[in-house]
Amino acid sequence: MVNSKYYKIKKIKNFDFTGTSYHGDSIKASFFQLTHLFGLPSINNCESKVNYEWELQTENGTPFTLYDWKYYRPLLIEETIEWHIGTDTKEHSKIIKQELDMLLK
């Protein structure tokens, strides 16, 4: 679990993330940074549309995913790339992006 000014973000298991979508918000980070913050990803499919995905939840219960999109190649561990935020609403997406940006500073 990550403690921060606004939320405690944690990994969750056995949750249906089907209702989450990309609403235009993303962050820039490396795989190394994200594993340092959230542990190993929930999904690991090298050379697919999504190589890695974390299934996470904010302290107030908002589920979201964090994933790379269409790199179609193995990623270098310290390579900074764009990670999409998938959540239920555009409003939640903006809030989670702000929180993630603060965590990565």
Any idea which residue has 């994933």 for tokens? 67
State whether the Cα torsion 76-78-84-88 is positive or negative.
positive
**pLDDT for res 42:** 85
Residue pair 38/96 in contact (Cβ under 8 Å)? The answer is no
The per-residue pLDDT for 26 is 98
In a domain, 65, yes or no: no
Q: Which residues of the chain have pLDDT under 50?
A: 1, 3-7
Inside any domain, residue 27: yes
Please give the residue range of the domain that contains residue 82: 2-56+71-87+94-103
Q: Does 63 reside within a domain?
A: no
Total tally of structural domains belonging to the chain? 1
Kindly state whether residue 62 falls inside one of the protein's structural domains: no
